[in-house]
Structure 1
């Protein structure tokens, strides 16, 4: 009879075998993304030159070095410093607070929601459709209601973030809890283990890879939710969403691109950080991509 320890060792061996070729490949092909990046920058410069000298609409596609300058240090037409760089980092800080607050709430609600549904099939049939409905309802349709009920500042931004980031946590956690080995579940039942013991000692450990996949997905969506909520509710302290709209309305090309670039890099950073946390937490026992 195969023991649980032997199964875990076999999984670890397969995961190590899968990861080994990837590490070798990455050490050899690290230059390929660099080449692609250089090509993209070259295309960007070509497009900027076209819009500058042919279309005479330089603000639509600014030169990359002007965007970098707007991120690091911005100067006005007369060479005097402006406050855009300060506004950019302040807006990033506010967007970060909103996204992390919404993500934390989405994690708690999503995990609890999935744990409730795993207790009985009738609970899953009763609750899961509402998770799907929450995912499918257009956020724009709920903006007037959310604003009327909770105001147009921080709380409403967090609510929009939670609504956008919640579904991956619910669906992935539920899938992970349901993926516990059937033979192990029967063993727990033979030992007359209660639902709580089965949940804590069997289902949650088995669900950890799926939970962290959902967490990584929700982390990326929380950044989108924070920026979208910022654009919907433009009162209070402005974040990156408001800054994008302001720079676009004022035809501030380098500043607009700088804000979009910082927002994108922040989303990638959040995705990578939570992916790293997932690998550190479960990578030794599971093949966590």
Structure 2
């Protein structure tokens, strides 16, 4: 009887004590089927709206005599993507891919080295970072003619254009990642009197990986843009996808023009998606505790 009174008094003093003790631990929140399908249904719905708007512009807005300016999507697919010009488009796309990836690799090496140099001392960042900003602010179209005069109009000139366009995001993101290391971790390495190279290899570079991959995804798309821009100006040698776009424009081959633009866009999307996948494989989700 006394034990029952003791329990009753305890419950009276803390009414929620018994309920909290008996309440089951919260389990993982179930994901509804609608939410799990949202990453697929959302983009698919937007794509359907875009295709519908495309058809509306072709058949409702444009006069029949001017529909060559924006042919219907099925015309682009039949005459452009699966037409007789698809082989030369794929060959040109392969050349553009080689130029873009070569420029991206060079930009990555230079950008990471540049960022590491600036992260080692404040005077180095103060002296070098303004030039990275200047490089980003100079219109690339103003430099392309000079690049052609100095380096010719072949593969190397196209790669250089890609490097100039893709360099700044890698520099800025890598520098941000190197400088965002936890202060306590820095103090721990300083307490053990580790060498600067060891601190860079075991602390700063692993912490900078998420930011580096973010810069790579941005620069990957920019490198594709640089390769196409180089094609527009350096019209010598084997044609890339940019040269074909310009040729189809001059010949008023609208289905082929739209198909070439779509292929160039898919190349940029593929590069972006590849580095996103690679980031998840290398870095995982350890840097984002909310996921």
Do they superpose with TM above 0.5?
yes
Cα deviation, residue 269, structure 1: 1.1
2:45 aligned to 28, 35, 41, which one? Answer: 35
Q: In the alignment, what sits opposite 1:229?
A: 230
Structure 1 residues 21 and 116: CA distance shift in structure 2, 3 A: farther
Cα deviation, residue 149, structure 1: 1.2
Q: In the alignment, what sits opposite 2:57?
A: 47
- 1:121-153 CA-to-partner distances (Å, cap 9, x unmatched) read 111111111111111111121122211111011
Structure 1 residues 184 and 99: CA distance shift in structure 2, 3 A: same
Q: Does 1:60 align with 2:69?
A: yes
Structure 1 residues 22 and 102: CA distance shift in structure 2, 3 A: farther
Which shifted more, 234-243 or 100-109? 234-243
- Alpha-carbon distance in structure 1 between the residues aligned to 2:154 and 2:98: 13
Matches for 1:77-92 after TM superposition, within 5 Å: 82=84, 84-92=85-93
Structure 1 residues 36 and 154: CA distance shift in structure 2, 3 A: same
Q: In the alignment, what sits opposite 2:146?
A: 145
Structure 1 residues 21 and 197: CA distance shift in structure 2, 3 A: farther
Long gaps (5+) in structure 2: 1-27
Q: In the alignment, what sits opposite 2:17?
A: none
Q: In the alignment, what sits opposite 2:18?
A: none
Q: In the alignment, what sits opposite 2:260?
A: 259
Cα deviation, residue 21, structure 1: 6.4
Contact 2:81–2:256 (CA under 8 A) maintained in structure 1: no
Per the alignment, in what secondary structure is the counterpart of residue 234 of structure 1?
Answer: coil
Q: In the alignment, what sits opposite 2:103?
A: 102
**TM-score, normalised via structure 1 length:** 0.85
- Greater Rg, structure 1 or structure 2? 2
- Alpha-carbon distance in structure 1 between the residues aligned to 2:172 and 2:96: 26
Cα deviation, residue 287, structure 1: 2.1
- Alpha-carbon distance in structure 2 between the residues aligned to 1:271 and 1:29: 17
Long gaps (5+) in structure 1: 1-16, 75-81
- 1:186-222 CA-to-partner distances (Å, cap 9, x unmatched) read 1111111111011011100111111111111111111
Q: Does 1:69 align with 2:69?
A: no
Matches for 1:1-289 after TM superposition, within 5 Å: 25-28=35-38, 30-50=40-60, 54-74=63-83, 82=84, 84-287=85-288
Per the alignment, in what secondary structure is the counterpart of residue 70 of structure 2?
Answer: coil
**TM-score, normalised via structure 2 length:** 0.85
Q: How many residues align?
A: 263
Cα deviation, residue 28, structure 1: 4.7
- Alpha-carbon distance in structure 2 between the residues aligned to 1:23 and 1:103: 40
- 1:51-75 CA-to-partner distances (Å, cap 9, x unmatched) read 66x251121010111111234432x
Cα RMSD of the aligned pairs, angstroms, is 2.2
Cα deviation, residue 33, structure 1: 2.6
Structure 1 residues 163 and 232: CA distance shift in structure 2, 3 A: same
Cα deviation, residue 24, structure 1: 7.1
- Alpha-carbon distance in structure 1 between the residues aligned to 2:177 and 2:39: 34
Structure 1 residues 199 and 260: CA distance shift in structure 2, 3 A: same
Per the alignment, in what secondary structure is the counterpart of residue 69 of structure 2?
Answer: coil
Which shifted more, 124-133 or 20-29? 20-29
- Alpha-carbon distance in structure 2 between the residues aligned to 1:34 and 1:158: 35
Contact 2:114–2:171 (CA under 8 A) maintained in structure 1: yes
- 1:89-128 CA-to-partner distances (Å, cap 9, x unmatched) read 1110011000000000011001000011111111111111
